[in-house]
Amino acid sequence: MAHKITDECISCGACAAECPVEAISEGDEIYVIDPDTCTDCGSCVEVCPTEAILAE
């Protein structure tokens, strides 16, 4: 199951830099995770300063 980025995202980009499969990209207002690419490794959760990434 993929992770999801909530509205708490401050668009810092820390999660995108940490993603080993490049499933995270900059959206219109916040970063987004491609659920088809996400391997559910959790690396992004650990680096998010606002705890904006949750498991779906």
Q: With bands split at pLDDT 50, 70 and 90, how would you rate the model's confidence at 56?
A: confident
What distance in Å separates the CA atoms of residue 3 and residue 1, rounded to the nearest whole number?
7
pLDDT digits (tens, 9 = 90+) for 1-47: 789 999 999 999 999 999 999 999 999 999 999 999 999 999 999 99
Q: Has this prediction a pTM greater than 0.85?
A: yes
Total domain count for the chain?
A: 1
CATH of the domain at 47: 3.30.70.20
The values of phi and psi at residue 5, to 5°, are: -100, 130
Q: What is the domain range of residue 42?
A: 3-55
- Those residues whose C-beta lies under 8 Å from the C-beta of residue 4, and which sit 6 or more positions away, are 33, 53, 54, 55, 56
